């Protein structure tokens, strides 16, 4: 069965509800959202360690706090990390050069005004599903497992 880009979010939501997966956040694509038991700084350290221990790397970082600070504004913790690895990049590009725009897969780490921290991401299987490519789907399922393990480090 082939799932269209419009059907993928509904299937992910249904699967999450049936399996008791972490909460899904609002957005154009369903995001897995996990509450951290740690403060913002500790969450970042735990995520960095988990990314490395799972054989991936943080290849991009967007730090909204630093950007806001440059304007003289202080905001709560807010970062977007791009996570990927060379072995997955080679497989992805071998399956579909067009899919290269989807890498790296992002983690969004955000702190609420109350100091609560959450980590969210769109599952790689959802990110790569629209390409309808079996090799990409297999790679994305492997990344799904790695992202689950990475985010589990903050629970």
> How confident is residue 6, by pLDDT bands cut at 50, 70 and 90?
very low
Pairwise pLDDT comparison (7 vs 152), residue with the higher score: 152
Residue 2 maps to a domain: no
Find the range with the poorest average confidence among 20-24, 75-79, 120-124.
Answer: 20-24
What is the rounded CA–CA span in Å between residue 62 and residue 80? 5
pLDDT at 58 over 80: yes
Query: Of 55, 36, 58, which is closest to residue 145 (Cα–Cα)?
Result: 55
Query: Of 113, 107, 96, 111, which is closest to residue 152 (Cα–Cα)?
Result: 107
> How confident is residue 29, by pLDDT bands cut at 50, 70 and 90?
confident
Residue 1 maps to a domain: no
Residue 80 maps to a domain: yes
Residue 109 maps to a domain: yes
Residue 121 maps to a domain: yes
Which percentage of the chain shows pLDDT scores above 70? Answer: 83
pLDDT at 2 over 60: no
Q: In the prediction, which pLDDT does 4 show?
A: 47
Residue 71 maps to a domain: yes
pLDDT at 37 over 60: yes
CATH number of the domain residue 100 falls in:
3.30.310.70
Residue 125 maps to a domain: yes
Total domain count for the chain? Answer: 1
What average pLDDT does this structure show over 68-95? 97
Q: In the prediction, which pLDDT does 28 show?
A: 76
- Give 43: exposed, middle or buried? Use CB within 10 Å, 0-12, 13-18, 19+: buried
Domain with 94 in it: 8-152
Residue 23 maps to a domain: yes
What average pLDDT does this structure show over 34-43? 98
Per residue in 97-135, pLDDT (tens digit) is 999 999 999 999 999 999 999 999 999 999 999 999 999
Q: In the prediction, which pLDDT does 17 show?
A: 38
């Amino acid at each position: 069965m082939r799932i269209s880009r419009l059907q993928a979010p509904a299937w992910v939501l249904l699967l999450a509800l049936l399996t008791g997966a972490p909460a899904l956040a609002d957005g154009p694509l369903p995001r897995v959202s996990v509450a951290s038991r740690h403060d913002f700084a500790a969450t970042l350290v735990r995520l960095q360690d988990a990314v490395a221990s799972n054989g991936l790397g943080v290849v991009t970082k967007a730090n909204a706090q630093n950007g806001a600070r440059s304007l003289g504004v202080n905001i709560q913790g807010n970062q977007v990390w791009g996570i990927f690895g060379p072995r997955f990049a080679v497989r992805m590009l071998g399956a579909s050069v067009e899919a290269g725009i989807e890498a790296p897969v992002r983690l969004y780490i955000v702190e609420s005004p109350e100091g609560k921290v959450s980590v969210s991401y769109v599952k790689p299987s959802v990110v790569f599903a629209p390409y309808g490519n079996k090799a990409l789907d297999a790679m994305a399922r492997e990344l799904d497992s790695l992202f689950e393990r990475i985010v589990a480090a903050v629970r």
